[in-house]
Amino acid sequence: MNEERVLALAGLFQATGLAQQLANEGRCDETAMASSIGSVFRIDAPSVVGVYGDVSGVRLGLRQLITLLDENNRDVAITRMAFTVIRLERSLSRRPDLLERLQQGIVAAQRQVEHFGPESPQVVSRLAELYASTLSTLKPRVMVTGNPQQLQQPNVVEKVRANLLAAVRSAVLWRQLGGRQWQMLLYRRQCSMLARGLLTGSTINNT
C-alpha cells in the first residue's frame, strides 16, 4: 500500500460518504463535493494529488477511511456502497462501448464546467444524467438508502448520482494504481497510518 492508493481510496470513500449524507439529510459538505466532482474532469492530471486538487480536497475521505479501518466505528452503508462501486467499475472496464460514452459525456460536460463551475446545478444535472444512462445500466447497481423524503427530491437525487460518478472515477484510479480489495484487509494498519499521515499533513498545510 502506498500514499497514492490511499488517496484514491479516500476519493472513493469521500464520494460515497457524500452520497450517503445527501440521502440522509438532503445536503452535504459543499467543499468536499466540489473536490469530488472536480476529480471527474481531471482525467489528465499530472499526479494523483492533482486529481483532487490537493490532499485537502479528500480530507473528508481520509477521515472516513480511518474510521473504516478502525473496526469500532465502521459506517456499514458507506462501506457497502464503496465496495459495490469497486465491483461496478470492474463491470465498466469490460464494456468499452459504455466507457467511450462516459468519456464523451464528461468531455461535453467540461464545456459547462468552464461556463458555470464544477458544482453548479447545470453540471451536476449533466453528470447525474450521464451516470443514469451508463453506469446505472450495469450490475451490480449501487443501492442508496436514506430518508425517503430526501430521496424524492430531484435535485438531491442528481447530487447523489453525480457523487457516485465521482466515486467510480476514484475506483478507476485505484485500480490503475494497482489497488485491489484484499489489500485493504491485508494492509489495514499500514493503510490507516498512511491516511493519518496524509490527513495530519493536509491540516498543517492549511492552517
Residue 72: predicted pLDDT: 65
Confidence of residue 158 (pLDDT cuts 50, 70, 90): very high
| Averaged pLDDT of the chain | 93
Sequence-distant (≥ 6) Cβ neighbours of residue 69 within 8 angstroms: 184, 188, 189, 191, 192, 195
Domains identified in the chain and CATH numbers: 3-205 (1.10.3890.10)
Measured CA distances, 6 to 49, 150, 181 (Å): 11, 31, 12
User: What pLDDT, in 10s, does the model give residues 96-148?
Assistant: 999 999 999 999 999 888 888 888 899 999 999 999 999 999 999 999 999 99
The model's pTM is 0.95
Grid coordinates of 158: 442528481
C-alpha 28/C-alpha 156 separation (Å) is 10
